[in-house]
Amino acid sequence: MDCVVVDPLAGQTFQTHFEPAYSGDALKPDEEFGEFPLDVRKVIARRAALELEPGAVLNVGFGIPDGVMKVAREQGIADTLVPTIEHGQFGGIPAEGLDFGATYNAEAILETGPMFNFYQGRGVDQAYLGFLQIDRQGNVNVSKLADSIIGTGGFIDISQKARKVVFCGTLAVRAQTELANGTVRFVRHGTPKLVEAVNQVTFSGRYAREHGQEVSYVTEAAVFRLTAEGVRLEEVAPGIDLERDLFPQLGFRPVIAEPLRTMAKELFSDELLPRTLFRFYA
């Protein structure tokens, strides 16, 4: 290193100059966390959170997946989990949006190198990650959007070594939906994110099957799982008709589970979820 440049205006994150709860200089009280309003993103985070297991070490990705810990806090089970993000934090509540990469009330903060050693050593029980595309073989693309190569970041290190992976995202691009009376309704269809073949394989369904990973794909309208047959449709949201709402927004027809279950209607209403829906209380 030849020199160090000090910028007095440099902030902790893209949009926050200094938040003491990010650095361990203070604890943010629970009552100061904002409400998590009901919308499509929360519905997806709620359904994904039903996959949580007591004592699990998690990795929580950017976007919709970071809502999983917000749901856990809202439901009173956050203290029984150990969330992590690749920037080095253990515990606490990951920040969202342009503050992602920081964590409120972290119990420990490591350097990135040791954190990835932890991931590569199978330290993560469950990873909650986003997606750009999914195909019928269970492959996931997060690294190439049309002709733009976004890159993989830490995605491969995290996703290949986690014992269980839950991909979270909307069913389609730019779809318009409405939530009402415990159901979801598509006002306008979007461009499919579940496609015949992904633009780039960032997560391999074949590799996951060979190594015994449990993989699911959660959207606001349906839940899919990776099986030996490929991607299987296992649940649909209340109010969803397969021919009218679902299949026109898929690039392939998945295997359909028998029986095909309906997602819990409580996911689509403002009240706290019943404890009986969670694996914690099974």
| Annotation marks residue 86 as catalytic | yes
* R_g of the chain, CA atoms, integer Å: 19
Decide which of 3.30.70.3270, 3.30.460.10, 3.40.50.720, 3.40.1080.10 is the CATH code for 33-277. 3.40.1080.10
Task: Let me know: does 225 contact 234? Beta carbons within 8 Å.
Answer: yes
Planar angle of CA 189, 191, 197, nearest 5 degrees: 140
SS3 93: strand
CA distances from residue 109 to 65, 102, 118, 191 in whole angstroms, order as listed? 21, 10, 13, 40
At residue 261, does pLDDT exceed 70?
yes
At residue 147, does pLDDT exceed 90?
no
Virtual torsion, Cα 171, 266, 67, 57, nearest 10 deg: -110
**Largest Cα–Cα separation, the chain:** 65
pLDDT digits (tens, 9 = 90+) for 19-55: 999 999 999 998 899 899 999 999 999 999 999 999 9
Instruction: Output phi, psi for 53, to 5 deg.
Output: -125, 145
- The one catalytic residue among 51, 86, 234, 235: 86
Element (H, E) at 256: strand 255-262
pLDDT digits (tens, 9 = 90+) for 172-192: 999 999 999 999 999 999 999
Q: With CA atoms as reference, report the closest residue to 175 among 225, 250, 63.
A: 250
pTM of the entire predicted model: 0.94
How remote is the C-alpha of 37 from its chain's centroid?
17
| Mean pLDDT within 101-108 | 95
Q: How many CB atoms lie within 10 A of CB 261?
A: 11
